[in-house]
């Protein structure tokens, strides 16, 4: 069989492609409208299914069985639901939690809607949705305003502090919950609540209204999606107005300066990502959505330019964003300390959202690659194996004897937080995860994420279906069977990730030459039912090095295999060995080893694929400083065992590191 190398990865600009009539009205988490200048089109929620036996399907099942019920319970326990009851005049309890606590209710509602769209029989979850939607309707004021904090605690401050109030941020999450509820048919009533609020925003902030923006972007992408759902143009126009007003210093200087809010320069002129990482990424999502719907290529070009700055100079090897604890922000170029990484979980989720939108807008594989990296290595680590404990920040190193950030959440996952933005954000992403597998166009079907499951769509005027079977990301073999084809040719496009240098393709057992273009193999033919394609991606262990300007990890390597980044944990070292004294032998071969998998494939003692590589323990003496070059004395050689970073901290608490120092002598 001929092994193929990637050669042609030049970008293919597909913007301006005509929308396929067959997919009009299709609606997943993101759904470009009839006039959108998108390259690819998402599938509807019922057109993709994840097999619970595969890793992504396991994550989605765990989310449904553990994470989502946990979020619902904590909304009651922490007082978020009680706040809305107080806003509805049904309780005199004191307000509980952060002033933007409503947003966690809205995110959980969105997660519940996506989950009920695939598992309609969950009676408890459906009751939560129905009861909460009814409560929101009762808490909504006569003019459409809906925010429990400013209704109960600070009614005189309504709309007066846009820099910190999060009023529009909370409204955005309400709108996204309503979109999910409508697209899955779970609760059309939530759309009425959302539209009453959205109409109030149009009245107040529209063309001749108040010139104001929100300190925490989110409303822009939400309004664009609400426009896509309803076709009501003022929602899109308001989203664009909010983007156009940004960069005029309307939010003031604040504690961290206008760049913290991305309010220091007009978005179309911005050259660097700045400030609070989650806010920057949510703003990018809105830029792409509005750019696609309005045909604003200047806006799209600006979003791609900012993406390049973020990914090429300010993103961790795990795909995480945000290196500073002080303001939860991006650092300067190459400022990526491993032990002080903030790497907020919500920023990783926002990265998935941005990359998905850019993938739909352009068809470029680099966005699918980055979406995959963030999903496996920046989102997944935040959730414990039982689905009920979470990281807020995600350091790439935990030192012996203390948490890397001096904060409890850096050392262990916690069940909930006073600022609980991350758990319900995880829940809504995982509940809609099947929506990110594939896209379609008039000429075919494109597979972006590999997982056991089923994808179907209407292509070339007929229904097609492809079943996937794979152990990915543990193995590189992906078997696809066309179970419903057409009488005319269409193209099956399969992504070859940027980390893969060689692959093979077989159709019905016979090898085929299939060069990748812009990261995709494109196979065009009349697909008879039962035709099988096997894509086998080479998955050697890779030793990844950082740019020399990343001072924090100079002289270190990170181990990776397939899409997964690996790490060392104290749990795998001999007793008495200090993790900081361990060095990797650069000449030692790396080999993979497997352990028996649990039924979820990620139990505390069951890690499907580990990496073993030679190392040694060094002794540097006790003096803090030395004259001249310090020489470390080699100790006993040992075999280092690296585990997937997303599984760290499930077996026991203790030191961990992604970047491993390399022995120099």
Residue with tokens 């299914």: 49
Based on the fold, state whether residues 567 and 520 are members of the same structural domain: no
**pLDDT value, residue 652:** 85
Identify whether 496 is part of a domain.
yes
Question: Which H, E and C letters describe 107-124, residue by residue?
Answer: HHHHHHHHHHHHCCCCHH
Q: 4: which 2 tokens?
A: 């193929």
Based on the fold, state whether residues 545 and 533 are members of the same structural domain: no
Q: In the predicted model, what is the mean pLDDT of residues 376-403?
A: 93
Identify whether 336 is part of a domain.
yes
Calculate helix-pair angle for 422-431, 68-77, nearest 10 degrees: 150
Identify whether 41 is part of a domain.
no
Based on the fold, state whether residues 604 and 482 are members of the same structural domain: no
Based on the fold, state whether residues 413 and 454 are members of the same structural domain: no
Highest mean pLDDT among 90-99, 434-443, 583-592: 90-99
Q: Indicate the residue among 490, 511, 537 that finishes a domain.
A: 537
Based on the fold, state whether residues 483 and 341 are members of the same structural domain: no
**pLDDT value, residue 587:** 87
Based on the fold, state whether residues 478 and 562 are members of the same structural domain: no
Based on the fold, state whether residues 533 and 550 are members of the same structural domain: no
Q: In the predicted model, what is the mean pLDDT of residues 342-358?
A: 98
Full domain range(s) for residue 375: 52-397+404-436
Based on the fold, state whether residues 522 and 546 are members of the same structural domain: no
**pLDDT value, residue 402:** 67
**pLDDT value, residue 600:** 38
| Cα R_g (the chain), whole angstroms | 25
Could you give the percent of the chain with pLDDT greater than 70?
93
pLDDT tens, residue by residue, 433-475: 999 999 998 889 999 999 999 999 988 888 999 999 999 999 9
pLDDT band at 78 (very low <50, low <70, confident <90, very high): very high
pLDDT tens, residue by residue, 233-277: 999 999 999 999 999 999 999 999 999 999 999 999 999 999 999
Which pairs count as long-range contacts for 191-195, CB under 8 Å and 24+ apart, including other chains? 191/229, 191/230, 192/137, 193/133, 193/136, 193/137, 193/140, 193/146, 194/226, 195/226, 195/230, 195/232
pLDDT band at 35 (very low <50, low <70, confident <90, very high): confident
**pLDDT value, residue 409:** 58
Contact assessment for residue 355 and residue 368, using Cβ atoms and an 8 Å cutoff: yes
Residue among 151, 318, 232 at smallest CA distance from 659: 318
**pLDDT value, residue 233:** 97
Identify whether 24 is part of a domain.
no
Q: Does the pLDDT of residue 492 top 50, yes or no?
A: yes
Q: Indicate the residue among 417, 436, 455 that finishes a domain.
A: 436
Q: In the predicted model, what is the mean pLDDT of residues 474-491?
A: 93
Question: Which H, E and C letters describe 47-104, residue by residue?
Answer: HEEECCCCHHHHHHHHHHHHHHHHHHHHHHHCCHHHHHHHHCCCCCCCCCCCCCCHHH
**pLDDT value, residue 403:** 52
Tell me what the pLDDT averaged over the chain comes to: 91
Q: Does the pLDDT of residue 375 top 80, yes or no?
A: yes
The region that residue 231 occupies, defined by phi over 0 for left and psi between -120 and 50 for alpha, beta otherwise, is: left
Q: Does the pLDDT of residue 316 top 50, yes or no?
A: yes
Identify whether 615 is part of a domain.
yes
Identify whether 573 is part of a domain.
yes
- Which positions ≥6 away from 476 have C-beta within 8 Å? 500, 503, 536, 537, 538, 539, 562
Based on the fold, state whether residues 173 and 227 are members of the same structural domain: yes
Burial 134-160 (b: 16+ CB within 10 A, else e): ebbeebbbeebbbbbbbbbeeeeeeee
**Does residue 71 have an active-site annotation?**
no
Identify whether 44 is part of a domain.
no
pLDDT band at 367 (very low <50, low <70, confident <90, very high): very high
Q: In the predicted model, what is the mean pLDDT of residues 172-194?
A: 96
pLDDT band at 599 (very low <50, low <70, confident <90, very high): very low
Based on the fold, state whether residues 513 and 557 are members of the same structural domain: no
**Does residue 421 have an active-site annotation?**
yes
Among 293, 328, 370, 458, the one annotated catalytic = 328
Based on the fold, state whether residues 338 and 216 are members of the same structural domain: yes
Based on the fold, state whether residues 465 and 425 are members of the same structural domain: no
Q: Indicate the residue among 517, 537, 557 that finishes a domain.
A: 537
Identify whether 6 is part of a domain.
no
β-bridge partners, 522: 493
Q: In the predicted model, what is the mean pLDDT of residues 131-156?
A: 98
**pLDDT value, residue 443:** 87
Among 71, 170, 214, 421, the one annotated catalytic = 421
pLDDT band at 606 (very low <50, low <70, confident <90, very high): low
For residue 415, give the CATH number of its domain.
1.50.10
Count up the domains in the chain and report the number.
3
For residue 486, give the CATH number of its domain.
2.60.40
**pLDDT value, residue 119:** 87
Q: pTM for the full model? A: 0.94
């Amino acid at each position: 069989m001929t092994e193929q190398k990637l050669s042609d990865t030049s970008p293919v600009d597909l913007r301006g492609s005509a929308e396929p009539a067959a997919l009009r009205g299709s609606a997943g988490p993101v759904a470009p409208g009839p006039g959108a200048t998108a390259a690819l089109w998402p599938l509807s929620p019922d057109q993709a299914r994840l097999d619970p036996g595969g890793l992504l399907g396991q994550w989605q099942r765990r989310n449904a069985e553990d994470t989502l019920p946990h979020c619902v319970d904590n909304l009651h326990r922490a007082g978020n639901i009680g706040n809305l009851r107080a806003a509805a005049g049904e309780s005199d309890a004191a307000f509980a939690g952060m002033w933007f606590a409503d947003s966690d209710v809205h995110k959980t509602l969105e997660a519940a809607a996506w989950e009920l769209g695939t598992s309609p029989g969950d009676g408890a979850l459906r009751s939560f949705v129905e009861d909460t939607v009814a409560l929101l309707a009762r808490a909504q004021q006569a003019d459409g305003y809906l925010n429990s904090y400013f209704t109960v605690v600070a009614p005189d401050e309504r709309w007066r502090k846009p820099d910190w109030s999060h009023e529009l941020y909370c409204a955005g999450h309400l709108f996204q919950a309503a979109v999910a509820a409508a697209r899955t048919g779970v609760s059309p009533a939530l759309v009425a609540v959302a539209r009453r609020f959205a109409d109030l925003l149009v009245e107040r902030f529209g063309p001749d209204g108040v010139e104001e923006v929100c300190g925490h972007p989110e409303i822009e992408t939400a309004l664009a999606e609400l426009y896509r759902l309803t076709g009501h143009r003022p929602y899109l126009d308001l989203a664009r107005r909010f983007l156009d007003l940004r960069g005029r210093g309307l939010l003031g200087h604040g504690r961290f300066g206008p760049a913290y809010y991305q309010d220091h320069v007009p978005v179309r002129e911005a050259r660097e990502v700045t400030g609070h990482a989650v806010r920057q990424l949510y703003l990018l999502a809105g830029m792409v959505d509005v750019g696609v719907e309005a045909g604003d290529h200047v806006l799209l070009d600006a979003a791609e330019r900012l993406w390049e700055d973020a990914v090429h100079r300010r993103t961790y090897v795990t795909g995480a964003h945000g290196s500073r604890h002080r303001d939860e922000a991006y650092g300067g170029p190459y400022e990526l300390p491993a032990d002080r990484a903030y790497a907020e979980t919500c920023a990783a989720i926002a990265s998935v959202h941005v990359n998905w939108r850019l993938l739909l807008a352009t068809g470029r594989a680099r966005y699918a690659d980055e979406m995959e990296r963030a999903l496996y290595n920046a989102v997944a680590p935040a959730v414990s194996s039982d689905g009920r404990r979470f990281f807020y920040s995600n350091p790439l190193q935990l030192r012996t004897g203390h948490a890397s950030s001096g904060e409890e959440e850096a050392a262990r996952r916690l069940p909930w937080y006073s600022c609980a933005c991350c758990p319900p954000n995880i829940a809504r992403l995982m509940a809609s995860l099947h929506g990110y597998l594939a896209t379609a166009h008039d000429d075919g079907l494109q597979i972006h994420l590999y997982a056991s499951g089923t994808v179907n769509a209407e292509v070339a005027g007929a229904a097609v279906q492809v079943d996937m079977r794979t152990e990915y990301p543990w193995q590189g073999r992906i078997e696809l069977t066309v179970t419903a084809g057409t009488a005319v040719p269409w193209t099956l496009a399969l992504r070859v990730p940027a980390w893969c240098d060689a692959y093979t393709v077989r159709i019905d057992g016979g090898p085929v030459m299939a060069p990748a273009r812009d990261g995709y193999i494109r196979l065009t033919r009349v697909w008879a039912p039962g035709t099988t394609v096997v894509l086998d991606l080479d998955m050697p262990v890779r030793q990844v090095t950082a740019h020399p300007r990343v001072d924090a990890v100079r002289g270190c390597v990170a181990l990776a295999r397939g899409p997964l980044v690996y790490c060392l944990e104290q749990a795998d070292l001999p007793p008495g060995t200090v993790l900081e004294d361990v060095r990797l032998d650069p000449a030692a071969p790396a080999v993979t080893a497997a352990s028996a998998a649990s039924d979820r494939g990620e139990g505390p003692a069951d890690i499907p694929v580990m990496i073993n590589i030679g190392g040694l323990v060094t002794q540097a003496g006790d003096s803090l400083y030395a004259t001249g070059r310090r020489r470390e004395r080699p100790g006993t050689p040992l075999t280092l065992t690296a585990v997937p970073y997303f599984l760290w901290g499930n077996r026991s608490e203790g030191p961990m590191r992604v970047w491993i120092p390399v022995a120099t002598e």
